[in-house]
Chain A
Amino acid sequence: MSAGLPRQHTTSSVGRPPVSSVHVSDTDVLPGSTFHSTTVSYTTRTGSCADNRQPQILPFQGLSGVDNLLGPSPGMSSSTAGHALPPDQFKPSRYSSPSLALQQQNSYQPPKVSVPGNSNAPIYSVQNGPRLTSQFPQTSQMMSRTGQYPVGRMPGPYQLQSMQGVFPRESLPQQGSYPHYLGQNASVPLPGIPSSSSGPLLPAPFPVQSWVQSSSPGVTPGPSEPTSARSSQNTSPIPMQRIDYMEGQFPSSRPSPVTSATNLQALSHGSGEPRFNGPPIAQGSCPPPPPSAQSATPFISTTSSVISQQTQVQNVGFGPPLNGVRPAHVRPRYPQQSGSSQTSKLTSQPIRQSSPFFNTTSSTQQHFSLKHPEGPVGGIAGGYDPQLHAQMTGMSIHGGFSKMWESENVNLLQDKNILPSVPLEPPKILTPHERPACNRDIFRCTLRKIPETHSLLQKSRLPLGILIHPFRDLNHLPVIQCGCIVRCRSCRTYINPYISFVDQRRWKCNLCFRVNDLPEEFLYDPVSGSYGDPSKRPEIRNATVEFIAPSEYMLRPPQPAVYLYVLDVSHSALQTGYLTVFCKIMLQELDNFPGDSRTQIGFITFDGSVHFYNLNESLNQPSMLVMSDIDDVFLPLPEGLLVNLHENRALIQDLLKDLPNRFAENDDTNSALGAALQAAYKLMAPTGGRITVMQTRLPNLGPGALKSREDPNQRAAKDVTNLGPATDFYKQLALDCSTQQIAVDLFLLSSQYSDLATLACMSKFSAGSVNYYPSFHATMNKLVTEKYQKDLRRYLTRKIGFEAVMRIRCARGLSLHTFHGNFFVRSTDLLCLPNVNPDAGYGMQVAIEESLTDYKNVCFQAAVLYTSTKGERRIRVHTLSLPVVAVVTEVLGSADQESIICLLAKMAVDKSITSLRDARDAMINACCDLISTYHNTIAAGQTAGALMVPCCAQLLPLFVLGLLKSVAFRVGISTKLDERVFAMEQMKSMPLSYLMTYIYPRMYPVHALDDNKSLQIDEGKTVPQPPILQLTFEKIDPTGAYLLDTVVLMYLYLGRGISDHFCSTVLGISTFRAIPEGMTELPELDTPESLRLRNFISWLLSQRPFHTPLLILREDSKEKYRFLQHMVDDRSESAFSYYEFLQHLKQQVSK
């Protein structure tokens, strides 16, 4: 192709009036120019800006993270949007440096023509490929004229809905009826598209041929589509149209974009040839892509999308970063079960990655082999418990292969040692045509196969629901920036791996089955640079993708990160000493707050009155304003209370250093939390953001004052009352906050009753998080303080998404009916999440409303639209596909016991608000239902005197017992109301993987850790993998040491007869007798035993985002009960042992 070919003539002339555009040849584009102009179309050689010529931007963008590379910083964009204004009109007040800097760039911009907003001029930004450019130039100018971010009040969640796509795009107002944030996709992240741009960022683990097979009916490689003609006609593979214009844009006579032999091959497979089993896409074997793709560095200039493997905080998983590989979920397993050594598996991984074609299949095979442990069904595989091992030998033959067949059943009464010694592997889902499955930690359904009718579900008596952890920290996440996000036109589903291609230009939605057109740019594969095969797109290859959203997805400019801290400084708060800890950690983490240059911060403190802090940069030191009229709160200053973190850093640091001393002598014991929250709401309402509340006592003054409702004598009562809120003040406040995109996170550090049931409402309905640190004291209670410190550190620095909404779309015939978690339900499938954090999980119950008989698979799609802290609008999309079955045994055989337990727990929390006893009964009934239903499906002879359950649900009764004995649902044991409420809150909002450990803690024998089954992690650490023991005292040897991990706390329990060798090599103490009470740390000894244990504990901690402190308990300790209360299988004064529980179930079933 020739470089300066005026491209838009070829593309824009169809169906639309000519553009009043100025053509700028490539040479006119000065090095510094970014793709500012959205209203301009200028010609240039595609790919002319492929090299990173961005001198002006580089210093300001910071280039600190991938985020920067993927999208412009908002400041940048806003200035570009405001190009029509003279620089002096441009108020940089909130934009800070980038915008100022970028103003200069206006001079470099190519000539542009402002087109009125509703002009039908095609708008291209050629260098950027066919990204969807904004059609709202007017609004953008309006936005920059105001010069400030909070242009207007944030539209309520009602309007937000349209951003998630209920509005058809076409119906969006063309003029500035609301502030549109233009710049987001107006400029392209050129700087530092790293070296990765030259190679494939995403591997191709996806067998293309299966795709085409699935979509074969419509695929005819007919002669009407001369497949090679295109490159000669259109010089670039990149279409430059908006999706809306696509129809009619390319008449059928137009050559099809299919160019590569791969596609031809694929097509021929589609028409019935035998399936091609080799690697479907070999880059080397690909015929050359169209010339334009070769002529430039492929990445930006020719692609329509910028894709990158975003490396995120690695909090989960352990493996080495699998560069360029679809985030294969590697879950550590107990090595013995996997058949081969874990070490070899890990080292072999990179080899697999290098040939991406095998990735899918090999990983599934790996999965498969791992899933079916060769050990006994319920056995302990390690050599730790010879007694048990002997017990298990009878079972072991039966164990191995039987689990392959889901129809296998287990008699619960036969063996009570049922817990596998390895962490439970999430059950595999059969996806059609080996398409990629969604990460099982992100998206799970209680049934792996969906019953086809409501009556079938009723028959199986299992709860149907989905559990989702949408914002989980992922090691690798494909991030896609493209002009148009391909969605179904009727149901607005995002394109996903489970759709089918009718032919090369059309796809069939898997939720509503509408046939949609495929925009031309979707045929381009940005990874390999090849063209013509839509199945290579990352959207099709990954069940989890993230899009950088264009301006259609914004109703206002993306908000800056705004953090407000509301701190309790009453006398009792200062007594606990939390303020010192808090300020210290804030000072340390001030640099690590997620956010860009616009980040704002503010502080409010309160006791009997509310104190504001003016941090305006004109001041020498922060000034405090005290408001004692707490019944009618107002903001004492129009500005200065929320300030830019970077510009006013010195003052903020001064304040944080000064705060603990300032209130050291405070003897006001009152707490006017309600007033402080109202003030915080008023302060935050224009922008939205996050309010963090530190509270240490029951609020007793002003609005929202509460009274103690707990009767200490009733702590062990059979039925617990006051689990619901006492007043709706906090709920109303949360709803108001939610409307203004504010989330409230509560940290309750209280030793006395503080009515968490009421206070938690402020977080529950504003999508915040609740943290509770009972009997916190900075010096007296080291354990809780340690947890608070670590949790706070994580909390302050973790990823956060602002002004988010989550929509869950279900296949036709399914609907969501009850939601669990912290959010406000905006409409039947839309959750309003003012903030979304990576540690929150959600659950939804699903109802089958229509028969699914016609479908083979049903899909769920969850899309989270949020504003990143860098000011980008992003959409994270997860899709889950499940097969539909018609037989009740298959439904029962597809139960996912962990998900069922988590959903049951959530449902039980709802129920216990009215009656805890009902909730407990409901859980027991769930077990009975399962057993009796299963008994009906198998031969009567088998059920006599037995409790048969399907193999995949064999742990259900055990886990239900764990739930019945958990802090949330136990009766008969003295439990503080706040602790119970907090446990319930955890059940509602904790993601599945942690919640399971919370419900049924994990116990490991650690007195004989050895290396031979250990796990190698990348830093050369060896992590031993002891087996998991069932929680019964039978398993505890008086000469052993056991680690009990309850998520809240880890106990290292030392038996009386522990060897002196262990004491000295691990604890650094000569004998058992010398071990002090309340030891909370393992000394760093240089012995292999110590190293192994410490590696193991730190590895456990690295698997979770929050901290779990360690407590060392001697067998004769006073605190021993804390350990014993977790022995779920054993009998306690008020509750069944596991065996008794089974007997009870049997009685219930036989009734």
Chain B
Amino acid sequence: MAFTFAAFCYIVALILTAFLIFFAVFHVIAFDELRSDYKNPIDICSSLNPLVTVEFFVHVSFNVLFLFAAEWFSLCLNIPLIAYHIYRHKTRPVMSGFGLYDPTSIMNSDQLTRAQREGWVKLAFYLLSFFYYLYGMIYTLIST
């Protein structure tokens, strides 16, 4: 039983993933509201756009920790998502600020559906990885 750097990484990842789960829930709710007419796309986009950037950096940060801790398996689990985030930022509409969502095109239902689906998939992913990190933390803590 030892408090290693890897254990620390898992603890950090665990806490941050909890945040990411909240982000994903917020994301899902926001698009649901958009779909059901309650909110203005301009407001939604201006509230979500900073969030997706934060999400990206939070996700990358604990993966950097995994890298340093040589937790290769955990890192590999996350690489596809990092790649997807980078892809999304590369193909985003022309924008001067942060973020991915453009209020003028988000109401097209293909984009809306995609964003909504993305929210659910991410939520599922973060939930699963939350439990994985929990497991990973305990595992590293008890194994010497």
Contact = CB atoms under 8 A, between A and B. Distances in A.
B118 interface: no
Please indicate which of the listed interface residues A724, A729, A732, A765 has the most CB atoms of chain B within 10 Å of its own CB: A732
A1064 B37 CA distance: 66
Interface in B88-144: 93-96, 102-104, 107-110
B59 interface: no
A827 B107 contact: yes
Contact of B107 (A161, A828, A847): A828
Q: Is the interface of A mostly helix, strand, loop or mixed?
A: mixed
A819 B104 contact: no
B77 to A, nearest CB: 32
Interface string A721-759: 000111111011001000100000000000000000000
A830 B110 CA distance: 17
B94 A817 contact: no
Interface residues of B, number: 19
Contact of B35 (A728, A739, A828): A828
B106 to A, nearest CB: 8
Interface of B: 34-35, 37, 39-43, 93-96, 102-104, 107-110
Contact of A825 (B35, B39, B41, B95): B41
Interface of A: 156-158, 161, 166, 724-729, 731-732, 735, 739, 765, 815-819, 824-828, 830, 847
Contacts of B37: 161, 166, 827-828, 830
B108 A826 contact: no
A824 B96 contact: no
B40 A826 contact: yes
A739 B96 contact: no
Contacts, number: 56
Contacts of B39: 158
B35 A158 contact: no
A69 to B, nearest CB: 37
Contacts of B40: 156-158, 826-827
29 contacts: A156-B40, A156-B42, A158-B40, A158-B43, A161-B37, A166-B37, A725-B94, A726-B94, A727-B94, A728-B93, A728-B95, A728-B96, A729-B96, A735-B42, A739-B42, A817-B110, A818-B108, A818-B110, A819-B107, A824-B103, A824-B104, A825-B104, A825-B107, A826-B107, A827-B40, A828-B37, A828-B107, A828-B109, A847-B109
B123 to A, nearest CB: 23
A827 B107 CA distance: 7
B42 A818 contact: no
B97 to A, nearest CB: 8
B108 A817 contact: yes
Nearest to A159: B40
B100 to A, nearest CB: 13
Contact of A735 (B96, B104, B109, B110): B104
A904 B40 CA distance: 29
A2 B110 CA distance: 64
A732 B107 CA distance: 16
Given A739-B42, A828-B35, A815 B95 contact: no
Contacts of A815: 109
Contact of B103 (A156, A735, A830, A847): A735
Contacts of B93: 728
Nearest to A736: B42
Given A724-B94, A765-B104, A827-B41, 17 more contacts: A156-B40, A156-B42, A158-B40, A725-B94, A728-B96, A817-B110, A818-B108, A818-B110, A824-B103, A824-B104, A825-B107, A825-B108, A826-B41, A826-B107, A827-B107, A828-B35, A828-B37
A729 B96 CA distance: 8
Top-10 shortest CB links A-B: A817-B109, A825-B107, A158-B40, A827-B37, A818-B108, A728-B95, A728-B94, A728-B96, A765-B104, A725-B94
Contacts of A732: 96
Contacts of B102: 728
Contacts of B43: 158
Contacts of A728: 93-96, 102
A732 B46 CA distance: 12
Please indicate which of the listed interface residues B34, B94, B104 has the most CB atoms of chain A within 10 Å of its own CB: B104
B104 A727 contact: no
Contact of B104 (A731, A818, A827, A828): A731
Please indicate which of the listed interface residues B34, B39, B43, B108 has the most CB atoms of chain A within 10 Å of its own CB: B108
Contacts of A724: 94
Nearest to B45: A735
Contacts of A765: 104
Contacts of B41: 825-827
A818 B94 contact: no
A818 B105 CA distance: 9
Contacts of B107: 819, 825-828
A735 B105 CA distance: 12
A726 B93 CA distance: 10
Nearest to A765: B104
A345 to B, nearest CB: 45
Nearest to B107: A825
B67 to A, nearest CB: 34
A467 B104 CA distance: 20
A817 B110 CA distance: 7
A726 B96 CA distance: 10
A806 B80 CA distance: 42
Nearest to B33: A827
Nearest to B111: A818
Contacts of A824: 103-104
Contacts of A819: 107-108
A551 B104 CA distance: 30
A463 to B, nearest CB: 14
